[in-house]
Amino acid sequence: MAAEESTGSGIADTAEKITDGVALDVLARFGFAVLAVVHILIGVIALQVAFGGTGQAEPTGALEQLASGTAGPWTMWACSLGCGGLALWQLSEATLRYRRNAVGKRLEKAVSSGSLAVTYGVMAVTMGRFALGDGPDSGEFTRDFTRTITAYPLGLFAVLVVGGTVLGIGGYFVVKGLRRTFRPELQHFEDSRRGAVIDAMGVVGHVTKGAALLLVGLLFVVAAVTNRPSESTGLDGSLKALQDHPFGDAVLVAIAAGLICYGVFAVIRARFGRM
């Protein structure tokens, strides 16, 4: 038994050394930068919608823009590779790097990084589909996904789990922004004037991203509880629905600006942050 435990520990140590290597670090940073650009594009599209323009203010809508043009497929393959690397890095965070910590800390990291690993993995697959010319239609992606899931036994429960997971991730980003727990990720700017600006962008960006995810997760939950898949309209539908309420356009502009702030913060983090 002791020999088996020693072998398992040795394999885990070797895997941890591999994930601590330069190659995965560079790939994960590139993936983080890709997602940063996606957030900026979503924010820009949301601004266009707020001022009477058109577009799909959600990840697939942003990916449609990145995939357009002659270099689109190659861009999508590169983005998919980067997001795949980021998903692998988050998976190593959830399973390897925190295995020597206290049980409570390991569980917290397993849930947070594990959820992000799944999210980034899905993004990598979606980008791969765009590279193959089979990207999902941004306007119907979330509805189609919800309809497909609810067609299976326990489908409504699965949608409820997805909604709860998205709500949890949204809450995590809000808390991370309000408590400024992202600060250790950017110690490079901690004592500079630029650091104060970046800190403010981090707070606004994380809280806004969290709020947007809370809206999406809530719609998943409503779709599951009411057994109406059409209620799950994704980020684009939830943001556009704001326009039907008083001061909705102002709120939409604020969310768009916040998403752009998060994107800019994420670009800086991808370059200078601790991975």
Taking Cα atoms as reference points, which of 238, 187, 181, 233 lies closest to residue 207?
181
* Contact between 141 and 60 (Cβ < 8 Å): yes
Average pLDDT over residues 48-66: 87
Looking at residue 44, its pLDDT comes to 94
Distance (Å, rounded) from C-alpha 183 to C-alpha 176? 10
Contact 179, 211 (CB under 8 A): no
- The share of the chain scoring above pLDDT 90, in percent, equals 33
For the chain, what is the largest distance between any 2 Cα atoms, rounded to a whole number of angstroms? 67
CB 249 within 8 A of CB 243: yes
Tell me the two tokens of residue 63: 């990916």
Lowest mean per-residue pLDDT among 109-113, 211-215, 222-226:
109-113
User: pLDDT band at 219, cuts 50/70/90?
Assistant: confident
DSSP per-residue string spanning 115-176? HHHHHHHHHHHHHHHHHTT-PPPTTTHHHHHHHHHHTSTTHHHHHHHHHHHHHHHHHHHHHH
The answer to whether residues 24 and 230 touch, using CB atoms and an 8 Å cutoff, is no
Per DSSP, helices labelled H in the chain are 2-19, 22-50, 59-67, 72-92, 103-131, 141-150, 155-178, 193-226, 234-241, 248-272
Residue with tokens 């924010």: 43
CA 185 to the chain's CA centroid: 17
| Average pLDDT for the chain | 83
Cα distance between residue 204 and residue 223, in whole Å? 29
φ, ψ (nearest 5 deg) of residue 136:
-65, 150
Q: Quick one: tokens of 234?
A: 């994704």
Q: What is the reported pTM?
A: 0.83
d(CA 232, CA 214): 13
What is the C-alpha separation between 133 and 160, in angstroms, rounded? 31
pLDDT in tens, 84-102: 999 998 888 877 666 566 6
- Per residue in 103-147, pLDDT (tens digit) is 666 677 777 788 888 889 989 999 999 999 887 765 567 777 788
Mean pLDDT to the nearest integer, 17-24 = 69
pLDDT the model gives residue 15: 52
Q: What is the spatial distance between Cα 19 and Cα 13, in angstroms, rounded to a whole number?
A: 10
Query: Tokens for 151?
Result: 């067609």
Nearby residues of 126 by Cβ (< 8 Å), 6 or more positions away: 59, 60, 63, 135, 136
Q: Please state the domain extents for the chain.
A: 2-272
As a whole number of angstroms, the distance between CA 214 and CA 208 comes to: 10
